[in-house]
Amino acid sequence: MITKRTIEKVFDTARVEEVIGDFVNLKKSGSNFKGLSPFSEEKTPSFMVSPVKQIWKDFSSGKGGNAVSFIMEHEHYSYPEAIRYLAKKYNIEIEETEQTSEEKEKASERESMFLVSKFANQFFIDQLHHSTEGQTIGLSYFKERGFTTETIKKFDLGYSPDQWEALTKAAINKAYEKKYLEATGLTITKDQKSFDRFKGRVMFPIHSMSGRVLGFGGRILDNSKKAAKYLNSPESEIYHKSKILYGLYYGKKAIAQQDNCYLVEGYTDVIQLHQAGIENVVSSSGTALTDQQIRLINRLTKNITVLFDGDAAGLRASLRSVNMILAQDMNVKVCMFPEGEDPDSFAKANSTHVIEEYLETNAKDFITFKASLLIKEAENDPIKTAEVIRDIVESIAQVPDQIKRELYIRSCSKLMDVSEAVLFSSLDQILAKSSRDQRKKNKSQVPQLSKVEETTTTTKKINPKIELERIIIGLLLKYGDQEAEFEDFLIEIDEKGNEVLKPIIKTHKVYEKIYLDLQSDEIEFTDENFKLLYHSLIDGLSTQKEFNVSKFTSKLDQTIAEEATSILMNFERYELHNWESQNIFVKHRDKLEPAEVTETILNLRRILIHQKVDEMGELLKSGDHENPTEVLEETMEYKQLEVLIARKLNRII
């Protein structure tokens, strides 16, 4: 087990904006940062990070917490794994006590698969560098490709021996269970016989954004064998090829910094470009590009440059990926290498400066590229030219942003010498058809409702008491240790015998004011999470000299920590929207308004008194009370209190 001292050091050192910045492109927004949610599909930022409070909140999915909880949520790490990841990131030495056999058994199946993959990765690396076969075959191959020793080690490249059970036996000898070798696809079992999936191949480990080994790609070197040239790990609990981009772990920082991502086809393209100094590059690993992969890039940048081979077969079909990128509201350029070249060979043969200059000069807007490519096929044939133009307009129709669509249409009009009116008319037709198709699709997916269901609508009722409890928790989290002057009222009788509210000013810390007022009325919280939060907050604020929100939330149960983060970050939510640009000036919530504290408590009292009056009324109606007069008198007293609180709130009942 990791010691408490190490955990505290991790929490003290880790900066939430730095940790999340490795996965999400964050932009400054007031005192906070904002970005696209890494947990849901969205095009408008709803993800917020507070460097002051060291917490984050994703308003689209409802998730939130601190640096550790983000790594747990994003990478599906256990708590100890998240601590280890952050310790490694910040070069913190991990102190730990020996795990018991019972604790070891508690490792989940998913975690066991990660451990097996990690072992396999190291096994392949060791075989490449320290076995005769690995050096002779595997290392020689990588060297022939032009990879340096530093590059080979950087990308954890390896070699799987040309033996039936080399990895399987090695893993079992180290006490790894065979079922996890099979679950990850490293071992295949048929007719009670087991063998290594990647037998006799050079190995490319595939990492998550945090560097975890999820799966492998293996290339066979013996062309005489009737086997696939490249072989990938099968889909598993930890490896989903449609949601992973090769090289993203190594290139994420460069992508965010340079605000552009180069998209290539293969593993060696990525590696060779990295070696040449072009690090903002990823690969879909030979599979068709997916929406999930595009969204991974979208978290880091809005700009993608697709790199095509100079003699790529089926280039037109490959351009479909451009439409997918446009549909995600991203900016896309296309760059084609000279005939006979691909990113791997071009990067190997040229210096960094030459490569950068070539990419800068030859990266074209998708319309220009598509037009120049397709117009060759048309060969001045009007019918084919019309098809080309419609093909380009089809691509423009994928763009969600109306302004961008208009600009693309103007560009296409000049390039193809066709009037804008004709192009806009064609665009409208395509968009209308797309809208009709979508409505039909949505209609077909809606389940048939019964007549009762069709006429019945359910609305989620808001419990005002719980909402007020939420506000109180927010006030304690945001302003709990701040001191302020609070206005209260004494009841006095004037000369005419009327009750008069006389204002008095008292100085309290916010938590003291809330605690004393709720205690005097013996008010208990209804919501169990809020109740736990309230008592924890009062305890922390009253015993600690300096109350730290980040440390406070780090010690809470995950569910309650998410609730606390959600409440606290709601104060900052307005920063997600650029209200000032629309001449709407939102009041900042940095400064405490004492009246808000007093008003919230009075409203809570009013609701409780109103509930009590209703209970008394029901009791009188039922006739179950022995002394109705007593109940009536008590009801009148509560109603007088209700009127008094309303007067305090300047309200009329």
Asked whether residue 529 falls in the same domain as residue 493, the answer is yes
Query: Considering its fold, how many domains does the chain have in total?
Result: 4
100 and 114 share a domain? no
Please return the burial class of 197, using the count of CB atoms within 10 Å of its CB with bins 0-12, 13-18 and 19+. Answer: buried
Statement to judge: residues 434 and 477 lie in one domain: no
In a domain, 569, yes or no: yes
Higher pLDDT, 263 or 311: 263
pLDDT of residue 585: 52
Note whether 566 and 53 are within 8 A (CB).
no
Share of the chain above pLDDT 90, in %: 38
pLDDT at 456: 46
Q: Is 130 found in the same domain as 87? A: no
Query: Among the three residues 199, 217, 239, which one is the final residue of a domain in this structure?
Result: 239
Helices 420-445 + 402-416 axis angle, to 10: 140
- pLDDT tens digits, one per residue of 433-468: 888 888 887 776 655 544 444 444 455 567 888 889
Measured in whole angstroms, how far is the alpha carbon of residue 436 from the centre of its chain? 32
Highest mean pLDDT among 149-158, 416-425, 605-614, 626-635: 149-158
Judge if 92 and 140 occupy the same domain: no
Name the residue range of residue 12's domain.
4-104
- Count other Cβ atoms within 10 Å, centred on residue 144: 8
What's this model's pTM, rounded to 2 decimal places?
0.73
What CATH number does residue 218 fall under? Answer: 3.90.980.10
Question: Bridge-partner residues for 216, per DSSP?
Answer: 205
Mean pLDDT of 550-569: 82
pLDDT score of 651? 43
The pLDDT score that the predictor gives to residue 543 is 85
pLDDT at 558 over 80: no
Top mean pLDDT of 440-444, 471-475, 489-493 is at 471-475
What is the DSSP track for 218-257?
EEE--TTS-S-SEEEPPP-SS--GGG--BTHHHHHHHHHH
CATH number, domain at 79? 3.90.580.10
Confidence of residue 582 (pLDDT cuts 50, 70, 90): low
- Statement to judge: residues 91 and 9 lie in one domain: yes
DSSP strand E in 273-314: where?
A: 281-283, 303-308
Q: What's the pLDDT tens digit per position in 213-252?
A: 999 999 998 876 778 889 999 999 999 999 999 999 999 9
Is the same domain home to 616 and 494?
A: yes
pLDDT (average), residues 394-419 = 89
- Answer for the pair 158, 119: CB distance below 8 angstroms, yes or no: no
- Both 82 and 117 in one domain: the answer is no
Q: Are residues 469 and 570 in the same domain?
A: yes
**What contacts 294, CB < 8 A, 6 or more positions away?**
304, 324, 325, 328, 330
Q: What is the pLDDT of residue 607?
A: 84
Tell me, what DSSP letter sits at residue 419?
Answer: -
Own/partner pairs for 643-647, CB < 8 Å, 24+ apart? 644/491, 644/499, 644/501, 645/602, 645/605, 645/606, 645/609, 646/606, 647/501
Q: Looking at the structure, do residues 500 and 641 belong to the same domain, yes or no? A: yes
**Pairing assessment for the beta strands 193-196 and 499-509 based on DSSP bridges:** unpaired
Per-residue confidence band for 170, with pLDDT thresholds at 50, 70 and 90: very high
User: 302-306, 353-357, 505-509, 548-552 — which is least confidently predicted?
Assistant: 548-552
Q: For residue 648, what pLDDT band results from cuts at 50, 70 and 90?
A: low
Q: Flag whether pLDDT at 613 surpasses 70.
A: yes
The H or E element that residue 499 is part of is strand 499-509
Mean pLDDT of 563-582: 72
Residue 312 lies in a domain: no
94 lies in the same domain as 120: no
Instruction: Convert the pLDDT of each residue in 408-420 to its tens digit.
Output: 999 989 888 889 9
Give 555's pLDDT tier (boundaries 50, 70, 90).
confident
| pLDDT over 50 at 376, yes or no | yes
My answer on whether 473 and 501 are in the same domain is yes
What local confidence, expressed as pLDDT, does residue 453 receive?
A: 47
Q: What is the distance between the alpha carbons of residues 238 and 213, in angstroms, rounded to a whole number?
A: 9
